Amino acid sequence: MSYLNSDKNNVSLEWAAMLVGVVVIFVTAYVIFGTEWNVYRVVNVLLGVAFIVFITYAYMNASNLKKALKGSQSDALAISKENESLRSAIGDIELTLEKTKNDNTRLESEKEKLEEEIDILKDKLTALTAQEEESKEDA
């Protein structure tokens, strides 16, 4: 039975089908032993009632499954749309990350150039300071 992982409507439908089956068995036993009907007539009635119960139960169960399937399909569509939006957001984030990496690399190279320029200027300043001190000592 599907009552382990199903909603309450399916459980009550299954119990109703079992109850009808038990009632049919009791009525059949009464008819066989308590009336003047013959066994063939009882079997025909029993098979007819059982077939009607089976068809009704199968129809109800199929309609419940169709409803559940429609709900699952709409959920799958919503998840698919959300997945697509998340993929586009990931793409945007990856693009931003790549731009940031490129900017970082460019800034690092500019930093190295500026550090080299600062070192050159420091060397020039040291040289000028040394020349100034020599000229003061000479004077």
Which structural domain, as residue segments, surrounds residue 27? 8-138
Asked whether residue 40 is assigned to any structural domain, the reply reads yes
pLDDT of residue 7: 54
- The pLDDT of residue 87 is 95
DSSP track, 25-78: HHHHHHHHHHSS--HHHHHHHHHHHHHHHHHHHHHHHHHHHHHHHHHHHHHHHH
In a domain, 131, yes or no: yes
Q: Are 28 and 46 in contact (CB under 8 A)?
A: yes
Inside any domain, residue 120: yes
Which residues have CB under 8 Å from 9's CB, separation 6+? 64
* Residue 76 maps to a domain: yes
For every one of its 139 residues, what pLDDT tens digit does the chain have, with 9 covering 90 and above?
Answer: 444 455 555 567 777 777 877 787 777 777 767 777 777 777 777 777 778 878 888 888 888 888 888 888 888 888 999 999 999 999 999 999 999 999 999 999 999 999 999 999 999 999 888 888 888 777 6
In a domain, 3, yes or no: no
Number of domains the chain is built from: 1
Cβ neighbors of 17 (< 8 A, separation 6 or more) are: 53, 56, 57
Whether residue 112 is contained in a domain is answered as yes
Q: What is the pLDDT of residue 130?
A: 86
Three-state SS for 7?
coil
Domain-located, residue 2: no
Give pLDDT, residue 111. Answer: 95
Query: Is residue 58 assigned to a domain?
Result: yes
pTM of the predicted protein model: 0.44
Cα separation, 107 vs 2, in Å, equals 65
pLDDT at site 137: 77
